[in-house]
Amino acid sequence: MFSSVESESPKRQQGPAPTKIIQSKNQYRTCQIKVPDLEKPVVAVCVDQEYYSFFKAVECGDKTLEIIAKLANGGDSTVIIKTPKGYAIWVKEPDAELHRSKT
């Protein structure tokens, strides 16, 4: 009698965390959030009812993609918003609470 052995590993491999690219101001709203590990509120955007804190402003698209790739591979979901001077990168804060809405 033959026995079957499953070769599936118990842990599912995951790919990089997702990035949202914002095309229009009506896709997000600015706010301030409280993050558990910080004392003061931080500037944030709300996209699809999720909060993202400001990470970095970058002028070059290639540099933006490089930073996003590193963050995504580290498990951080991100948002990119085009600005007049380049791109703003925002990182998801899953444990954040709304402190104050700006718009």
Mean pLDDT of 15-25: 89
- On whether the pTM is more than 0.75, the answer is yes
Contact present, 84 and 15 (Cβ < 8 Å): no
Mean pLDDT of 64-86: 95
The helix/strand/coil state of 83 is: strand
pLDDT at residue 56 is higher than 90: yes
Rounding to the nearest 10 degrees, give the CA dihedral for residues 45, 102, 82, 96: -10
pLDDT digits (tens, 9 = 90+) for 28-45: 999 999 999 999 999 999
pLDDT at residue 5 is higher than 80: no
Sequence-distant (≥ 6) Cβ neighbours of residue 83 within 8 angstroms: 57
pLDDT at residue 93 is higher than 90: yes
> What pLDDT is stored for residue 9 in this prediction?
38
